[in-house]
Structure 1
Amino acid sequence: MDSSPPEVVDADTRPEQPEPEPERRALPPGLAATLVFLASGAVLVLETASLRLVGPYVGVTLQVTSSVIGVALAAIAYGAWIGGWLADRRDPRALLAPALVLAGITTALTLPIVRYAGEVLRGGAAVGILLLTALAIFLPAALLSSITPMVVKLQLADLRRTGQVVGRLSSIGTLGAITATLGTGFVLVAALPSSAIIISLAVLLGLTGLGLGVWLHRRAGSNLPRPSRATAALAVLGLAGASFSAVAPTPCDVETAYHCASVEADPVNSTGRLLVLNSAWHSYVDLNDPAHLEFAYTQWLGAVADVVAPAGRAVDAVHLGGGGFTMPRYLTATRPGTRNEVYEIDGELVELGRRELDVRLGPELRARVGDARMLIGERPRGSADLVIGDAFGHLVVPWHLATREMAAEVRRIVRPGGIYAQNVIDHPPLRFIRAEVATVAAEFPHVALIAPPAAIAGEQGANFVIVASDRTLPLEVLRQQLATSADEPVTLLSGAALDEFVDDAMVLTDEYAPVDQLLATA
């Protein structure tokens, strides 16, 4: 048995034990909460604004909205993952400020990137939609999403409070996202153009990052490297990004709450004006001749109006969608005393029409700003001779205006013998127009379809006009009117031929109306 005395170890020679991370490494709770709130909210501001940025090039469809949300969620996931990985390998205090400044720079660069790339990727192809939304969102959103795990790492000084710290910061981040979503949707988009929102966000992030870097360096002293050269270089890049944003081409004359709108002069007709919404031709008006109908589908609608009432006889007309107010101006010019009521969701579009398209509101033309589905419910039963459906979100009829329930509302307000004429755009394989004809026919016993022959044959995309009534349609009279008023050959489909065209297409309802999927070409 070893009875030797225990070895005495001098205190100065004992192996050095790891010390717990000092409390000073943590950020003040208020600052930590502010950074998480700002970073999470900025992602949602960017997401909402980006939907408006890409809209003029790829439309505002369900696929575009899904792509924006999906890319933003992917950026959040990868940003949080990478931010946590870096926080375990580097002092997060040295990473926070550069991440914010870089997020500001990439946010500023979103404008020129989207506007230059959008011209190349213009259209509704799935690959182009995903690529453009990724260019708009992914990098700045990923950088912003890396902030939260870095802040969490700094605040975990006491493992006994891990759940409390993580839960609190997660809650604050969620509140930031909610605040940004509501604030952007209800306030910012209505008050500022998308470019102003993006630039303001970029400046806010950049200044926050610079201020945080200076504060952290002063607080940590020599524990953190001086940020002056790096931040100066980043600031120069940020200014360059902002300058590119200023000179980047923009497709908008006016950015409304719903559209990127512009009015273009017709190079052939000095008084002709073309209304362009999200880079799509929407309406054509002649300032000196309101009876002029340029687009083929408006000529067809004019022929339908002639069937409802001969020229010179006033009618009561309801228009679902205003746009350039082509048809209300036409009816007022050809049928004095006509009472037009227009339901237009975009109030700024109404003002644009008054300023540049000679829209004159008064007893014969009343514009109500709001959703047509809501407003039509306020219209008395049997109060309209003619209802014209011409509401679009980009090139797509809003799904809730394409259902059987909506058709029932239209039938409710149409007088006996009145007509519902609905403009629809579709492309081969023509699944949506078939479904929409079936949907209208589920409520109206008499239905016909006007379209170019090649479109009926499924050879090209085109406008289609559905004509419906509760009484027998005067088809021969309508054919004669179409032959007289239409500049190009047109087919009027009815009876057995229309049934064969529709085949077994579904009836769209409020319960199930996959409009965007039916319009997909692949």
Structure 2
Amino acid sequence: MVFPTDHGHAEIRWDGPRATLLLDGVESSAVDASDPSYLEFEYMQHMSCALGVALPPPGPVRALHLGGAACALACAWEATRPGSRQVCAEVDALLAHRVREHFPIPRSPRVRIRVGDGRAVVDAARPGAWDVVVRDAFVGGAVPEHLRTRECAAAVARALRPGGLYLLNCAHGGGANAHRDVAAVLEEFPLVLTVQDPKVGRGGRRGNVVAIGVNGGDFGADALDRAL
């Protein structure tokens, strides 16, 4: 199934109960209707491990996702953390409508899709409103510039409760450079860690680097190593 979006085109491919969303030909989300806790993409698994260290499941979380697509991570957290309240900020209104129509996304207030720019949503957030903020936003294969700045990291830090997490999906290699994203977060967060494949970290091939900004408090880096 192929359809236009406000910023390009999308395709949904079904394999039994599992649906994969492709944006402009690139896999973006995968949701399993028979097991919403399933996470296909490794970087999302890493993000869940980091959250589990800071806030062990099944405790509920208040999560803001900058970039929605098919809300795979939000669906997984809803399945494993009952009572969570999550907002997915998606700039593409047509895409947001279509994924609500075709993917098994829990209804608001469990998972709310808010059409709008993620940075504007962060800037408008109450101080300490969120346990975790996830940046997983791409337009044309690149993270929007205004989501890569120190000012954006500062706005996220204000929106997080003490000890909250800022989880970023950063592209690296093949012309993309995650160092800039990490440097911006380092300016505003007292502790920043990264999770990456060594080959990606050296820039040998393009892939995902997960950056973890910890908004104060204790965070078990050793526990994260074990969870990964």
Q: Aligned partner of 2:206: which letter?
A: G
Alignment of 1:117-516 (within 5 A): 253-266=2-15, 270-428=16-174, 432-471=177-216, 472-482=218-228
CA contact (8 A) 2:148 2:180 kept: no
CA contact (8 A) 1:395 1:425 kept: no
Cα distance in 1 between the residues matched to 2:116 and 2:175: 33
Give, in angstroms, the shift of residue 361 of structure 1: 2.1
The structure that is helix-richer by fraction is 1
Cα distance in 2 between the residues matched to 1:342 and 1:457: 32
Cα RMSD after superposing both structures? 1.4
Cα distance in 2 between the residues matched to 1:481 and 1:394: 33
Residues 403-460 of structure 1 deviation map (CA, whole Å, 9 limit, x = unaligned): 1110010000111011100001121566x21111111101111000111111112221
CA contact (8 A) 1:308 1:385 kept: no
Alignment of 1:26-41 (within 5 A): none
Q: Aligned partner of 1:441: which letter?
A: L
TM-score for both structures, normalised by structure 1: 0.42
Identity of aligned pairs, percent?
Answer: 33
Cα distance in 2 between the residues matched to 1:274 and 1:352: 13
CA contact (8 A) 1:284 1:326 kept: yes
Cα distance in 2 between the residues matched to 1:291 and 1:328: 9
Residues 342-373 of structure 1 deviation map (CA, whole Å, 9 limit, x = unaligned): 11111221221122111232221111111111
Match of 1:32 in 2: none
- Secondary structure of the residue aligned to 1:424 is strand
Residues 148-177 of structure 1 deviation map (CA, whole Å, 9 limit, x = unaligned): xxxxxxxxxxxxxxxxxxxxxxxxxxxxxx
Q: Aligned partner of 2:3: which letter?
A: V
- Secondary structure of the residue aligned to 1:255 is strand
Q: Aligned partner of 1:426: which letter?
A: H
- Secondary structure of the residue aligned to 2:180 is helix
Alignment of 1:60-75 (within 5 A): none
Residues 481-502 of structure 1 deviation map (CA, whole Å, 9 limit, x = unaligned): 11xxxxxxxxxxxxxxxxxxxx
Q: Aligned partner of 2:105: which letter?
A: V
Q: Which has the larger radius of gyration?
A: 1
Cα distance in 2 between the residues matched to 1:353 and 1:308: 30
Return 5+ residue gaps in structure 1 as ranges: 1-251, 483-522
CA contact (8 A) 1:344 1:368 kept: yes
Give, in angstroms, the shift of residue 469 of structure 1: 1.1
Give, in angstroms, the shift of residue 378 of structure 1: 1.5
CA contact (8 A) 2:132 2:164 kept: yes
The structure with higher relative contact order (CA 8 Å, sep 6+) is 2
TM-score for both structures, normalised by structure 2: 0.95
CA contact (8 A) 1:422 1:466 kept: yes
Return 5+ residue gaps in structure 2 as ranges: none
Cα distance in 2 between the residues matched to 1:470 and 1:314: 19
4+ aligned runs moved over 3 Å, structure 1: none
- Secondary structure of the residue aligned to 2:127 is coil
Cα distance in 1 between the residues matched to 2:226 and 2:52: 11
Q: Aligned partner of 2:213: which letter?
A: A
Give, in angstroms, the shift of residue 292 of structure 1: 0.2
CA contact (8 A) 2:54 2:219 kept: no
Give, in angstroms, the shift of residue 304 of structure 1: 1.5
CA contact (8 A) 1:275 1:324 kept: yes
Give, in angstroms, the shift of residue 309 of structure 1: 1.3
